[in-house]
Amino acid sequence: MPLIGERTKVSYLKKIQFQTEGTEAVLYVTDEAQIAETLRTEGEAVLIYLHPGNSEQDFSNYLFAVEDPEELELEYIERVYRRLKGLPWYIMNTDRCRIRETKPEDVEAFYRIYSDPSITKYMENLYPEKEEEKQYIREYIDKIYTYYGYGIWTVIEHQSGEIIGRAGFSNREGFEDPELGFIIGTPWQRKGYAMEVCQGVLRYGWTALDFSQVQVLVAPGNIPSLRLCEKLGFRYEKNVILKEGEYCQLILQRQ
């Protein structure tokens, strides 16, 4: 096996050491299927280096691959590692909140938030059984976060460490634009959290995800959400009829 970072005709292997959340972490980069499988069997996180010389090797079981391993950025390295290790990505901080990917353990807090009837008046409820919701989250991580690199995330208050809501982007069938979604638990409403979090999420959409336009679909009777969207700069486009009912479609363009 070659030295770390050495490129030969036989194989490439690079061991990248870094810290994530104050913990030592290691990500291996290799262009050899056999080496990759050995490392993965040992529980290591592996990133594949693709080039013409290994085009006939089978890497179909690996989530991440790159064409230039010497130009990797730390943020990408950390996110690949965290995905492969089943750890959530941290998306951003606002003044009072931290936003990260949802994990199954968040479900307990979600049920407390959604237990208030006002929360589910205009949105879909959680599954009746907590284990069903946890399994949905596991599949959401694999199919949505991993494929799109974004989704609906968990919102945590800095000061208390409590989960206070959810926010992020989704892709609704039949619509081209990503859709902003948000929910703040009743105890934290009317304190500016929704505005703060949505502004942060939108900035992330413009800068990190390169969105040019975002939509929201709000039930006509959901006056607080309509007012918030107007304060965020959304403008009414039209009413749309879906199987769930009638919604006001509002659009916000990147400035």
pLDDT tens track for 163-187: 999 999 999 999 999 999 999 999 9
* pLDDT surpassing 90 at residue 6: no
What pLDDT sits at residue 1?
A: 37
pLDDT > 70? residue 7? no
For residue 3, name the pLDDT band (cuts at 50, 70, 90): very low
Distance CA 40, CA 25 (A): 15
* Adjacent-strand bridge partners of 140: none
CA distances, 95 to each of 158, 200, 206 (Å): 8, 9, 19
pLDDT tens digits, 61-118: 999 999 999 999 999 999 999 999 999 999 999 999 999 999 999 999 999 999 999 9
Q: What is the pLDDT of residue 10?
A: 53
Nearest Cα residue to 146 out of 91, 210, 73, 80: 80
Residue 8 CA to its chain's centroid (Å): 37
CA distance 210 to 97: 23
Q: Which helix (H) or strand (E) holds 155?
A: strand 152-157
Chain segment 198-246, per-residue pLDDT in tens: 999 999 999 999 999 999 999 999 999 999 999 999 999 999 999 989 9
In the chain, what percentage of residues exceed pLDDT 90?
95
| Confidence (pLDDT) at 177 | 98
pLDDT band per the 50, 70, 90 thresholds, residue 11: confident
| CB-CB contact of 218 with 247 (8 Å) | yes
**Structure tokens that stand for 70 in this block:** 């010497």
pLDDT in the model for residue 255: 86
Q: How far apart are the first and last CA of the chain?
A: 52
Q: For the chain, what are the domain ranges?
A: 13-84, 90-253
Q: What is the pLDDT of residue 217?
A: 98
CATH number of 90-253: 3.40.630.30
Q: What average pLDDT does the chain have?
A: 94
Please state the rounded mean pLDDT for residues 133-162.
Answer: 97
On the question of pLDDT at 23 being above 60, the answer is: yes
